[in-house]
Structure 1
Amino acid sequence: MPSLRLTRRAVDEVPYPASGQVFYRDTMLSGFGLRVGANSKVFFAEGQVNRRTRRVTIGRADVFAPEIARKKALVILGEMAEGRDPNAEKRKEKRERVTVEMAFDRFFEARKTLSPHTISNYRRSAQLYLKAWRKKEMKEIDRQMVLKKHQEIGKIHGETTGNNVMRHFRSVYNFTSATQNDFPPNPVQILTQARAWFKERRRQTVVTAVDLPAWWTAVMAEPDYSRDFLLTALFTGMRRSEVMQLRWENVDLSAKTLHLPTTKNGDPLTLPLSEFLADLLAQRREANQGSPWVFPGPGRTGHLVETKKFLLRVSAGSGVSFTLHDLRRTFITIAESLDVPYYALKRLLNHRTNGDVTGGYIVVNAERLREPVELVAKRILELKEPRD
Structure 2
Amino acid sequence: MTLRSSSVQLTPIKTRAVTATGQDKPPNRGVGSTICASFVTEMAIVTLSDALIGKGAGKAGSVLRDRRLCGLCLRIGARTQTFVVATTSRGKQIRVTLGRWPLLTVDEARELALPILRRCRAGEYIVAPVRAQLPTLRQVLPEYGKAKKVKASSLARYESVLKTHFADWFDRPVSALKEPAFGAHCYAFAQTKGAAIVDLGRGLVGSIIKFLFAVHSVSIENPFLRLSAAGLMPDRPQPRSRNLGERDLPAWWKAVDSLPERQGDYLRLIVFTGLRKNEGRAVRRRDVDLDNKVLSIPETKGKRPHSLPITESMRHILVRRCHGLEPQQLLFDGLSADHVTEMATRAGAPEFTLHDLRKLLASIGARLEIGDAILRRILGHAPKRGDVLHRHYVSLEAADIGESLQRIQSTVVQSSAKPIL
Give the TM-score taking structure 1 as reference length.
Answer: 0.77
Equivalent pair of 2:295/2:310 in contact (CA under 8 Å): yes
Residue 356 of structure 1 and its aligned partner are, at CA, apart by 2.0
Match of 1:164 among 165, 176, 200: 200
Q: How far apart are the structure 1 equivalents of 2:410 and 2:207?
A: 43
CA contact (8 A) 1:143 1:187 kept: no
Partner residue of 1:177? 213
Is this contact kept in 2: 1:256–1:273, CA < 8 A?
yes
Partner residue in 2 for 1:300? none
Report deviation, 1:167: 1.6
Counterpart pick for 2:363 among 324, 329, 333? 333
Whether 1:357 aligns to 2:388 is: yes
Match of 2:124 among 55, 69, 83: 83
Give the direction of change, closer, same or farther, for the CA distance of 1:117–1:133 in structure 2 (3 Å limit).
same
The 8 Å contact of residues 115 and 266 in structure 1, kept in 2 or not, is answered as: no
Change (3 A) 1:371 1:37: same
Query: Superposition pairs for residues 1-388 of structure 1, below 5 Å?
Result: 1=44, 4-6=48-50, 14=56, 20-24=60-64, 34-57=74-97, 65-66=103-104, 70=109, 83-86=124-127, 89-90=129-130, 93-94=131-132, 97-111=134-148, 122=158, 125=161, 130=166, 132-142=168-178, 144-151=180-187, 158-181=194-217, 183-199=219-235, 200-286=237-323, 288=325, 292-297=329-334, 304=335, 306-318=336-348, 320-353=350-383, 354-359=385-390, 360-385=392-417, 387=419
Q: Which has the higher contact order (CA 8 A, sep 6+)?
A: 1
Could you list the runs of 5+ residues in structure 2 that have no partner in the other structure?
A: 1-43
1:297-349 per-position Cα deviation (integer Å, ceiling 9, x unaligned)? 3xxxxxx5x43333334345446333322221122112212221121111112
Report the secondary structure of 2:132's partner residue: helix
CA 377–144 in structure 1, closer or farther in 2 if over 3 Å, else same: farther
Which is further off, 150-159 or 220-229?
A: 150-159
Contact 1:170 1:186 in 2 (8 A): yes
Instruction: Supply the RMSD in Å over aligned alpha carbons.
Output: 3.9
CA–CA separation in structure 1 for the residues paired with 2:323 and 2:209: 50
Secondary structure of 1:54's counterpart equals strand
1:279 Cα deviation after fit: 0.6
Identity %: 24
Amino acid in structure 1 at the alignment position of 2:132 = K
Aligned residues: 370
TM-score scaled by length of structure 2: 0.72
CA distances 1:124-159 after superposition (whole Å, capped 9, x unpaired): 555665554344333431274554444565578743
CA contact (8 A) 1:154 1:160 kept: no
**Structure 1 residues 281, 31: closer, same or farther in 2, change over 3 A?**
same
Q: Which has the larger radius of gyration?
A: 2
Structure that is richer in helix per residue: 1
What whole-Å deviation, never above 9, does each CA across 1:166-203 have from its counterpart, x for those lacking one?
32332232233234557354454324323344322122
Identify if the C-alpha distance between structure 1 residues 357 and 29 changes in structure 2 by more than 3 Å, giving closer, same or farther. Answer: same
